[in-house]
Amino acid sequence: MEQKYFDLIEANPVIAAIKDDRGLSACCLCEEVRVVFILYGDICNISQIVEKVKEAGKIAMVHVDLVSGLCGKEIAVDFIKTNTCADGIISTKPALVKRGKELKLYTTLRIFILDSMAFENIQKQMSVAKADMIEILPGLMPKIINRICRLVKVPVIAGGLISEKEDVVAALAAGAIAVSSTNPKVWKM
C-alpha cells in the first residue's frame, strides 16, 4: 500500500497543500498534482472535501489535527477512515500516525524543526509512529533536510514557506523526495 503513495510522490514531487475551498478548486484542476494534503475542514464537511479530491483522481491525505471537531486521540483517525474515502492521514502526533498505520491508511508524520531538541526527538517520534513518510517544516533548510534524510529510514517531504522554484530545487537536492506547498504557482513547477 505504501508503495503506491511513494511512487505517486516520486513521479510528481510537488504536493498541493490546501487550506480552503479556493485551494481545493485550484488543486482539482491542476493536472500536475497527484497528492493533496488537506489542511482544513470540519467534521461536517471533511468527507465532501475528500470526495472532491478523489473525484479529481488524486490521493487525499487529511491532516487530522486540523479538522475542527475532532479530538487529538486515535478515535479521530477512526472517524476519518470510517466517514471519508481518504487515502491517508497527516498528524504531528505519533500515536495518531500509528493508528493510521493500523487502519491501513497512508501516513505522514509532520514535524516542526524549531530547534535542536526537535531535531533530536525525530527518531523517538518515528519509533512510535512508524510513518510511511515524514514532513518537516519549515522546508527552507537544505542542511537540516540532508541531516534528517540521513537520520531516518523513510522518505522526507519538505513543507512550509516554499514559494519559489529555487526552494523546490534546494529541498529536492538536499534529499527530500517531495515538497508540499499551499502556493498554486509552486504546484505547476
| CB neighbours of residue 56 within 10 Å | 17
Question: How does residue 161 score in pLDDT terms, banded at 50, 70 and 90?
Answer: very high
- 9 occurs within a structural domain: yes
For residue range 90-110, list pLDDT tens digits in order. 999 999 999 999 999 999 999
Please spell the DSSP secondary structure of the chain, one letter per residue: -HHHHHHHHHHS-EEEEE-SHHHHHHHHH-TT--EEEE---BTTTHHHHHHHHHHTT-EEEEEGGGSBT--SSTHHHHHHHHHS--SEEEES-HHHHHHHHHTT-EEEEEEE--SHHHHHHHHHHHHHH--SEEEEES---HHHHHHHHHH-SS-EEEESS--SHHHHHHHHHTT-SEEEES-HHHHT-
User: Which pLDDT belongs to residue 3?
Assistant: 80
Please tell me the predicted confidence (pLDDT) of residue 183. 95
Model confidence pLDDT, tens digit, residues 128-155: 999 999 999 999 999 999 999 999 999 9
The answer as to whether 34 is a domain residue is: yes
Model pLDDT, residue 30: 96
Question: Could you tell me if residue 119 is left (phi over 0), alpha (psi between -120 and 50 degrees) or otherwise beta?
Answer: alpha
Q: Is residue 187 part of a domain?
A: no
Is residue 189 included in any domain, yes or no?
Answer: no
Q: Is residue 99 part of a domain?
A: yes
Domain ranges, residue 159: 2-182
What residues are paired with 107 via a beta bridge? 89
pLDDT of residue 101: 97
Q: State residue 66's pLDDT score.
A: 98
Among 17-21, 120-124, 167-171, name the one with the lowest average pLDDT. 120-124
Nearby residues of 109 by Cβ (< 8 Å), 6 or more positions away: 90, 91, 92, 94, 97, 125, 126, 129, 131, 133, 134, 135
Band (pLDDT 50/70/90 cuts) for residue 79 is: very high
Of residues 8 and 55, the one with the higher pLDDT is: 55
Counting the structural domains of the chain, the total is 1
Give the pLDDT confidence score for residue 4 in this predicted structure.
Answer: 84
Q: Is residue 188 part of a domain?
A: no
Average pLDDT, the chain: 96
Residue with cell 474515502: 85
- CATH code of residue 127: 3.20.20.70
Q: What is the pLDDT of residue 5?
A: 87
Which among 92, 88, 86 has a CA at the least distance from the CA of 105? 88
Residue range 1-5: mean pLDDT, rounded: 74
Calculate mean pLDDT across residues 54-74: 97
pTM for this model (two decimals): 0.96
Q: What is the pLDDT of residue 189?
A: 85
Inside any domain, residue 25:
yes
Q: Is the pLDDT of residue 1 over 60?
A: no
Give a yes or no: residue 80 inside a domain: yes
